[in-house]
């Protein structure tokens, strides 16, 4: 029949989690929330008219939706109240990409510092191990930076966008616990006795010492 009403299906199209929102799309029983496109405007009057025209009925009940996700270009209800959400390797928001870039740069800088003795001597100072203020400052600074670094590690498998696929509670716990441990280890490393290392002369000092010894030997022979 040409005059038959068509059910006003909601628009669930999306390209990212932020394109979805919970809205009351209505049903033949009344209120009915669903995850739809954020720009979609539900027409509950059209739904009511369709229910009257077709004499249809709906089950009076609905699922409580706390978040929405975009999967395969369609909005749907996301996990709710999950402490450890499932991994999400299909969505890469700017925050997630930037966090992993920072992670990689820090790893490269740390490896370069450890591998090159001149850089290592500049970073690790030998005159801080007996200074309490220096130890506390170093521990706090290293702990804060280390905590920020380790709390971005879950961005490898989570979206890191405070959405349904981001375990922000777990990341926060990693930041505080990991930062405290890294800070304590940093202060311990700086406080470790380095007298044996400090006694070793640099290349320049060794060259000057050898030159002075050679001059003395020459003078004695002369």
pLDDT, tens only, 111-138: 887 777 665 565 555 566 677 777 788 7
Global pTM reads: 0.49
Inside any domain, residue 177: yes
In the chain, pLDDT over 70 holds for what percent of residues? 73
Q: Are residues 69 and 145 in the same domain?
A: no
Q: How confident is the model at residue 196 (pLDDT cuts 50, 70, 90)?
A: very low
Inside any domain, residue 73: yes
Inside any domain, residue 89: no
pLDDT score, position 12: 93
Q: Are residues 65 and 99 in the same domain?
A: no
- What tokens does 20 get? 């979805």
Q: Are residues 69 and 107 in the same domain?
A: no
Report the C-alpha gap between 84 and 55 in whole angstroms. Answer: 44
Q: What is the DSSP letter of 35?
A: E
Inside any domain, residue 28: yes
Inside any domain, residue 220: no
Mean per-residue pLDDT, 53-60 = 78
Range list of β-strands (E), 38-147: 68-71, 74-77
Q: Are residues 149 and 175 in the same domain?
A: yes
Give the structural domain span for 186.
94-214
Q: Are residues 163 and 199 in the same domain?
A: yes
Report the C-alpha gap between 48 and 62 in whole angstroms. Answer: 17
Inside any domain, residue 62: yes
Q: Are residues 130 and 210 in the same domain?
A: yes
| pLDDT value at 40 more than 90 | yes
Mean per-residue pLDDT, 46-65 = 82
pLDDT score, position 37: 93
- According to DSSP, the residues that pair with 215 across neighbouring strands are none
| pLDDT value at 156 more than 50 | yes
Q: Are residues 100 and 207 in the same domain?
A: yes
Buried b or exposed e, range 117-138, using 16+ CB within 10 angstroms: eeeeeeebeeebbeeeebbeeb
How many distinct structural domains can be found in the chain? 2
Mean per-residue pLDDT, 38-66 = 84
Inside any domain, residue 161: yes
| pLDDT value at 161 more than 50 | yes
Instruction: State the pairing for strand pair 33-37/68-71.
Output: unpaired
Domain C-terminal end among 77, 105, 125: 77
Q: Are residues 131 and 203 in the same domain?
A: yes
pLDDT score, position 106: 87
Q: Are residues 66 and 166 in the same domain?
A: no
Q: Are residues 64 and 102 in the same domain?
A: no
Q: Are residues 39 and 109 in the same domain?
A: no
Q: Are residues 136 and 47 in the same domain?
A: no
Q: How confident is the model at residue 189 (pLDDT cuts 50, 70, 90)?
A: confident
57-99 pLDDT per residue, tens: 776 777 778 778 888 889 988 776 567 777 777 778 788 888 8
Inside any domain, residue 180: yes
């Amino acid at each position: 029949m040409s005059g038959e009403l068509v059910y006003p299906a909601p628009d669930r199209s999306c390209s990212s989690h932020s394109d979805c929102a919970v809205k009351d799309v209505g049903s033949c029983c009344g209120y009915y929330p669903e995850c739809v496109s954020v720009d979609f405007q539900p027409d509950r009057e059209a739904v009511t008219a369709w229910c009257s025209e077709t004499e249809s009925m709906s089950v009076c009940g609905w699922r409580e939706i706390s978040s929405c996700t975009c999967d395969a270009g369609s909005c749907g209800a996301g996990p709710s109240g999950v402490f450890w959400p499932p991994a999400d390797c299909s969505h890469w928001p700017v925050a997630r990409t930037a966090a992993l870039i920072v992670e990689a740069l820090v790893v490269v800088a740390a490896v370069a510092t450890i591998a090159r003795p001149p850089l290592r001597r500049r970073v690790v100072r030998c005159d801080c191990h007996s200074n309490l203020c220096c130890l506390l400052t170093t521990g706090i600074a290293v702990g804060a930076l280390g905590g920020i670094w380790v709390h971005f590690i879950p961005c490898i498998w989570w979206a890191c966008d405070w959405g349904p696929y981001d375990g922000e509670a777990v990341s926060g716990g990693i930041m505080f616990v990991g930062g405290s441990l890294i800070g304590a280890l940093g202060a311990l490393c700086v406080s470790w006795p380095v007298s044996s290392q400090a006694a070793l002369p640099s290349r320049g000092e060794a060259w000057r010492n050898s030159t002075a010894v050679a001059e003395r030997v020459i003078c004695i022979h002369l």
